[in-house]
Chain A
Amino acid sequence: MTNHWRDIKNTDLILINGANPAEAHPVGFQWFMRAKLDRGAKMIHADPRFTRTSAVADMYLRIRTGSDVAYFGGLINHVLQNNLFHDAYVRNYTNASFIVKDGFTFKDGLFSGYDPAKRSYNIASWSYETDPATGFAMRDKALQHPRSVFQLMKAHYSRYTPEMVSSITGIPAADFNKVAELVGQMGRPDKVMTIVYAVGLTHHTTGGQLIRSGAVLQLLLGNMGRPGGGMNAERGHANIQGNTDHAISWEILPGYLKIPAPGQKTIADYVAGSAPKKSDKNSWNFFGTNYSKFMVSTLKGWFGDAAKKSNEFAFDLIPKPAGNASWMTIYDQALKGKMEGLVLSGMTAASIGPDSNQVREALGNLKWLVVMDALPTTSSEFWHAPGVDASQVKTEVFMVPTTHWIEKDGSFVNSGRWSQWKDQVLPPEGQARHDHWILADVFQRVKKLYQSQGGKFPDPILALTFDYKDPLKPELDEIAKEINGKDLSTGKQMTSFALLKDDGTTTTGDWIYTGSYLDSGNLMKRRQGVQDVKANDPTGMGFFPNWAWSWPLNRRVMYNRASADLDGKPWDASRPGITWNGSRWVGDVPDYPPTMDPHDPAAWLPFIMNGEGVGRLFSNGMVDGPFPEHYEPVESPVANPLHAANSASPVAFLYDKAAGRPDRFGTAADFPYIATSYRLTEHEHYVTQHVPKLVQLQPKPFVEIPDELAREKGIKSGDHVRVSSKRGKVEVLALVTKRLGAMTVAGQKVYQIGIPIHWGYVGLAADSDPTHGRYWMANALTPFVGDANARTPEFKAFLVNLEKM
């Protein structure tokens, strides 16, 4: 989230796409309801399924899954064609005025630079025309230049007429126009809208662009950086945010520093290849300017005395991947026989998918599998799953019993970036051990093996810092201090990442957390909440600055310089983010130098983290286009109404095809119905299959079937049905409902089926079933393909057949 849960109460209009907060994040949803009840905010829910969120929304739009780029595109077009954008914000706080190089084109669904053989773009033409004297981007503040971002995007989105939006999304044009009218009012400085989304947007081959299209709309309306505004991702797991920040992710190091690439030999090479570049004289480019300081301080923290100026701070000790190494790649490599071992911690590959049957085959192709978990999972038990001959599975499997969240302290970071410390409530159960103690112990044993036997390049293993009182049992408090970082010359904790250096005299574990743990103590433990609202929320905006700690630097709304006008006054005096009081910025922790006078001709532009200094309506940071464009899901019953020749994403990576394996995609001829998967209130992923009360509340797997389709098929609620895709099948109960319905898409009648994901062959429900949940895994159906940028699987849109059993 750019903002945070409680902030949603400050909004005038809530757009909810790819999410069902009333059921999936019910306690966070109270702030949506407060906005509605206390300030008359409107709520618009676009979703394939009518849910409890829809039930309290002012408008519900039945949208075809995976078509939200067209929905947002239509709204962008409405705002541009009718001049409803926030004029001063767009001219001064976005790159609308930047001029794009001659040679950039978009035709028949393809941007310039496409290479069909490689299925990728050369993005050289997706950049700005620069002033040869300064190297900075050319701008036209009048927004009239035909190659200005503003004019290019106006032309790009002119195709997204209400009729085209209706054809792609299935939303009736009249309903869409009502939404457009409401959204169009949000460009007024005294109005603010929030966009809230969840994995219903990310789980598509166009996932990155689905979210970007919302962000573009928010920039046009001047809603980024403002209380009550922003792009707000509702995350599904307790600490998915914290562990993204801390980079359990192939492509980054902690704090969103890029993983170095082969060919980079020095810190300077690395920064040149990774850091944003300043493209306007008033851009601070804070991230780019400080990239080497963050990286060197991280290396110094990790490799200690072995990281010296003379050896580029041990830059060679960081692994440089050959290419993508994300979730699906792991199993793809295992299928190719190139992955020997896998460690899963609190995460079950067998259920998570996509294409669970193929993933199970991949697990059976490993030499060894380590499952660290408190409870059995479908991965720890995959080798004797129903229908599997265990004697034929050659993988060596370890089940390592770990402690639960309540048996250890440490922080959880919520969707709103609030890092909240928790106590250790209970001692470890039985023989269970903490995950970090297990990892520390294994690491020390590996280190001993290298010391006694030698082996390949032991240098990083020997050099890695282990400055803990007990190297086998590091305390989370010690690690939290390490993450914050310290000044090696004084021994004091760093107070801000702005003070980190690239000369080897400072350390950090994750620069965005610098400031969370000071010499005075751990700020994540702070508890000044609603027990005294007046004292603890002095601005009344819901920031609660002394409750826990929020990255970066305890800032509660990111990009908050953009909440104030050019003079430093809030766009809406009733909802200030930060305000220039004549000598300093007050309110939230400013995302800006605290004493920089906005009237100074050299004052920095508002978006200090990127090279432009302004929000990017046009960006070369995506591999599938500088403007979001609608592409069909890889499995779709219709051709793309915008460009049938390039119907699906031209750059989504096709694993099976690239590996020479048989095609695993189906077509509408065999699999005529659209399916989407989702979560229920009473379960979280798969772990709750072990919680008796929750299993009682939602005992059995089912699929939701629109009643009209059920009538055609002679299916009644409670019947057993088989849902199959090219990849597998589920055999579960039918729930016939009016919450789903027929739609007209590209002139065709289509049906969408809904599949909750929570069941498999492990848990209380499976234990009581005669088949032991053999065909209960929703992800047996989902396709092994993902977003062109992030490779997030397309769990949310695929084709199936439906049969009564």
Chain B
Amino acid sequence: MPTVTRREFLKVGAAGAGALAASGLGFDVALAESNRVKQKLRIEGAKELHSICPYCAVGCSLVAYTRTNSDGTTQLLQIEGDPDSPVNEGRLCPKGATAMQLAVSPRRVESPLYRPAGATAWQKISWDDMLDKIARNIKASRDATFVATDGNGNTVNRTEGIAFAGGAAFSSEEGYFATKLMRGLGLVHLEQQARV
């Protein structure tokens, strides 16, 4: 075993997985299973891409296989642990192993929705109308609650009546961009999952 690399090992299949399970790790049945499924689904023309698990912050690397269908759409065939990663060496937990069901879900919000004050149901709204309304709300609340100079005569230039919270599922670059834009709007109430 010690002379077999992870990548070679994955090719060994079920017998190898059994040997590793005997070493007491306990993660290998799922791995062997995903390997078997991968071999079944990994057909000619599948594209191999790399991602990171969207759940906890262990940062397990994923390999995602996609195929471009004849109608031009992209089909996700399989997500599995990346055997090259020094973090997870191919392993995934139940959440990571089912990441496909988060990636492709019939429960996704299909289109922008709007619910006016006091309404009892969602209304469909176009992107353009929705973004316009949000921008107008931001400007109105910013103008209504902006403090340029505080009671002590200090220049503070802050928007007190708008808050932004989020980002633990953002790419870092999106998070940085959100910080930059929100500070640009003068926000002081800026928050994310690390606090809670």
Contacts and interface: CB of A to CB of B under 8 A. Distances in A.
Contacts of A30: 25, 27, 88-89, 91
Contacts of B167: 239, 243, 248, 345-347
Interface stretch (A83-91, A436-444, A607-615, A658-666): A436-444
Given A238-B57, A343-B165, A396-B117, A316 B157 contact: yes
A426 interface: yes
A684 B95 contact: yes
A638 interface: no
Interface in A305-350: 316-322, 325-327, 329-330, 333, 338-347, 349
B66 A28 contact: no
B172 A243 contact: yes
Interface stretch (A155-163, A403-411, A487-495, A592-600): A403-411
B195 A431 contact: no
Contact of A395 (B55, B117, B134, B156): B117
Nearest to B59: A414
B134 to A, nearest CB: 5
Contacts of A5: 58-59, 87
A540 interface: no
B78 to A, nearest CB: 11
B139 A684 contact: no
Interface string B41-63: 00000000111111111111100
A397 interface: yes
Given A345-B167, A393-B118, A547 B85 contact: yes
10 contacts: A239-B169, A248-B164, A249-B194, A302-B180, A416-B59, A422-B50, A425-B49, A460-B186, A531-B83, A691-B95
B57 A398 contact: no
Q: How large is the interface on B (under 10, 10 to 19, 20 to 34, 35 or more residues)?
A: 35 or more
B120 A390 contact: yes
Nearest 3 Cβ contacts at the A-B interface: A410-B171, A414-B59, A345-B166
B174 interface: yes
Nearest to A445: B135
A196 to B, nearest CB: 12
Contact of A327 (B111, B165, B182): B165
Contacts of A544: 86
Contacts of B142: 446, 455-456
Contacts of B89: 30, 530
A445 B139 CA distance: 10
Looking at B131, B158, B167, the one whose CB has the most chain A CB atoms below 10 A away is B167
Contact of A27 (B60, B64, B111, B134): B60
B52 A374 contact: no
A694 B100 CA distance: 12
A427 B68 CA distance: 11
A328 B23 CA distance: 47
Contacts of B182: 248
Interface string A718-760: 0000000000000000000000000000000000000000000
Given A262-B156, A410-B172, A435-B178, A347 B192 contact: yes
Given A446-B185, A527-B50, A790 B195 contact: yes
Given A30-B88, A320-B154, A367-B141, 12 more contacts: A243-B194, A333-B160, A339-B189, A399-B109, A401-B109, A406-B103, A409-B171, A413-B172, A420-B61, A682-B94, A691-B102, A697-B94
A370 B182 CA distance: 14
A455 B141 CA distance: 11
B166 A347 contact: yes
Interface stretch (A69-77, A100-108, A216-224, A476-484): A476-484
Contact of A374 (B58, B108, B136): B108
Contacts, number: 508
B115 A383 contact: yes
A764 B106 CA distance: 12
B114 A27 contact: no
A372 B127 CA distance: 13
Contacts of B138: 341, 442, 446
A393 B121 CA distance: 12
Interface string A366-389: 011010111110001001100000
A410 B194 CA distance: 20
B12 to A, nearest CB: 15
A436 B115 CA distance: 23
A188 interface: no
A464 B185 CA distance: 9
Given A398-B134, A529-B84, A376 B152 contact: no
A426 B66 contact: yes
Contact of B119 (A390, A509, A537): A390
Interface in B135-175: 135-139, 141-148, 150, 152, 154-175
A419 B191 contact: no
A431 B125 CA distance: 12
A746 to B, nearest CB: 30
Contacts of B61: 420, 529
B131 A681 contact: no
A275 interface: no
B196 interface: yes
A416 B60 CA distance: 12
Interface string B21-51: 0011101000000000000000000000111
A397 B119 CA distance: 10
B156 A342 contact: no
B111 A401 contact: yes
B74 interface: yes
B113 to A, nearest CB: 4
Given A343-B163, A396-B117, A235 B190 contact: no
A322 B150 contact: yes
A640 interface: no
Given A396-B117, A415-B58, A483 B101 contact: no
A340 B86 contact: no
A391 B118 contact: yes
A425 B76 CA distance: 8
A705 B121 CA distance: 40
A684 B56 CA distance: 8
Nearest to A260: B156
Contacts of A509: 176, 180
Given A373-B109, A455-B139, A406 B51 contact: yes
B19 interface: no
A752 B154 CA distance: 50
A320 B158 contact: yes
B112 interface: yes
A441 B57 CA distance: 30
A352 to B, nearest CB: 5
B80 to A, nearest CB: 13
B17 interface: no
A97 to B, nearest CB: 34
A123 interface: no
A531 B163 contact: no
A441 B131 contact: yes
B152 A262 contact: yes
A305 B146 CA distance: 25
A25 interface: yes
A236 B57 contact: yes
A425 B145 CA distance: 42
A461 B142 CA distance: 12
A27 B190 contact: no
A449 interface: yes
